[in-house]
């Protein structure tokens, strides 16, 4: 602890279930055990979180994995290199469509992703206006929607214009009929479904590979200047991840998420029971994670090339992926 380069840490996050380990580490005093004074900063959008990290207003953040290669390529228009040493979640997004649209197009929860994609594609080709949203251009949610649409129509998938909305605003947008569907992490799909606005029709892991979704990120410069501090932050969150895997009950975790306004709806073992246990299982999945994998980031960069018309060699893709996990070719 005496070797910490910095002890007062600003840690940014977006209100999603997959920041649970970060919140739990603070709740349990695990950051303090490492000699850190951590201030959690709730951000309104991924763009604001990225910008505040890039320019030093946040030290460490809960971050979309695809933001890291976007920074390496300059596709984020900032070009400040980012890196990660800890995965927070893996392919845990869902696609939801409005219940009205599902009724009109005869889309059922039992449909395969290809079935629902074909029904949406046909409706769009027939002239129906359908607006879908993702959370950010550089996200697996974006690529999940593209790959889903491509199951039916590759040209539509390439050219379809997606809206961008911060995760907490998805429910409001579909309630106000500003969008007809979205791809987002939980609990926003479940909340919108419980409130009667939408229906979950596909899970991201049915469509795309198992890759890092959210990670703990810093700028490369910050990581180089604060190696011991970063290790301390990581240890605290890993202790929280261990708890999520091994706690017999998640009652206190649930209360924390309600107090943090991440879970904003009534759900329990006697009300919306299926959703309650689904959320519990998802929280458990944010427990102990594998170390960040270069192959995950190679897949993300390949998706950027596929859907955003980036032209990179295989050597470039490898180098960018290694940079994302703090490795070099040296």
The pLDDT of residue 2 is: 59
The pLDDT of residue 78 is: 77
Share above pLDDT 70 across residues of the chain, in percent, rounded to a whole number: 98
Per-residue pLDDT, averaged over 120-136, amounts to 97
- pLDDT tens for 223-276 read 999 999 999 999 999 999 999 999 999 999 999 999 999 999 999 999 999 999
- pLDDT tens for 21-51 read 999 999 999 999 999 999 999 998 999 999 9
Give, as one character, the DSSP assignment of residue 15.
Answer: S
Per-residue pLDDT, averaged over 203-215, amounts to 97
Per-residue pLDDT, averaged over 288-294, amounts to 95
Give the separation between CA 212 and CA 300, rounded to whole angstroms: 9
What is the Cα 293 distance to its own chain's centre?
Answer: 16
The DSSP H or E segment spanning 13 is strand 8-13
Chain mean pLDDT for the chain: 95
CB burial string 248-264: b at 16+ within 10 A, e below? eebeebbebbeebebbb
Give the separation between CA 187 and CA 239, rounded to whole angstroms: 23
Domain annotation for the chain: domains and CATH numbers: 8-90+211-324 (3.40.190.10), 93-206 (3.40.190.10)
Using N-to-C axis directions, what is the helix angle for 227-246 and 20-27, rounded to 10°?
Answer: 100
The residues with which 42 forms a beta bridge, in sequence order, are: 13
Give the separation between CA 107 and CA 30, rounded to whole angstroms: 46
The pLDDT of residue 1 is: 53
DSSP letters, 211-272, are -EEEEEEEEHHHHHH-HHHHHHHHHHHHHHHHHHHH-S--HHHHHHHHHTTSS-S---SSSS
- pLDDT tens for 53-98 read 999 999 999 999 999 999 988 777 777 899 999 999 999 999 999 9
Looking only at the bridges linking them, the beta strands covering 198-203 and 132-134 are: unpaired
Residue 330 pLDDT exceeds 60:
no
| Banded pLDDT at 130 (limits 50, 70, 90) | very high
Residue 327 pLDDT exceeds 80:
no
Residue 328 pLDDT exceeds 60:
no
Single pTM value for the model: 0.95
């Amino acid at each position: 602890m005496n070797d910490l380069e910095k002890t007062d840490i600003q840690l940014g996050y977006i209100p999603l279930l997959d920041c649970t380990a970060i919140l739990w580490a603070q709740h349990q005093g695990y950051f303090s055990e490492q000699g850190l004074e951590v201030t959690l900063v709730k951000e309104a959008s991924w763009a604001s979180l990225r910008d505040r990290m890039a320019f030093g207003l946040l030290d460490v953040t809960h971050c979309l994995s695809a933001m890291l290669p976007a920074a390496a390529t300059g596709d984020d228009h900032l070009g400040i290199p980012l890196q990660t040493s800890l995965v927070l979640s893996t392919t845990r997004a869902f696609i939801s469509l409005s219940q009205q649209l599902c009724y009109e197009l005869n889309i059922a929860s039992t449909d395969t992703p290809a079935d629902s994609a074909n029904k949406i594609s046909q409706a769009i080709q027939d002239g129906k206006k359908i607006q879908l949203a993702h959370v950010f251009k550089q996200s697996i949610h974006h690529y999940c929607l593209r790959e889903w649409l491509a199951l039916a129509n590759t040209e539509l998938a390439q050219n379809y214009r997606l809206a961008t909305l911060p995760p907490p605003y998805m429910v409001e947008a579909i309630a106000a009929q500003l969008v007809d569907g979205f791809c987002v992490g939980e609990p926003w799909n479940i909340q919108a479904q419980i409130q009667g606005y939408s229906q979950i029709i596909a899970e991201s892991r049915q469509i795309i590979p198992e890759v890092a979704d959210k990670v703990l990120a810093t700028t490369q410069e910050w990581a180089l200047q604060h190696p011991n501090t970063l290790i301390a932050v990581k240890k605290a969150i890993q202790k929280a991840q261990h708890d999520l895997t091994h706690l017999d009950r998640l009652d206190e975790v649930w209360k924390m998420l309600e107090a943090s306004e991440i879970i904003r709806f009534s759900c329990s073992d006697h009300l919306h029971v299926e959703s309650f246990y689904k959320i519990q299982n998802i929280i458990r999945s944010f427990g102990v994670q594998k170390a960040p994998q270069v192959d995950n980031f190679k897949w993300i960069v390949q998706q950027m090339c596929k859907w955003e018309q980036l032209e990179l060699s295989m050597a470039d893709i490898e180098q960018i992926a290694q940079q994302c996990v703090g490795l070099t070719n040296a």
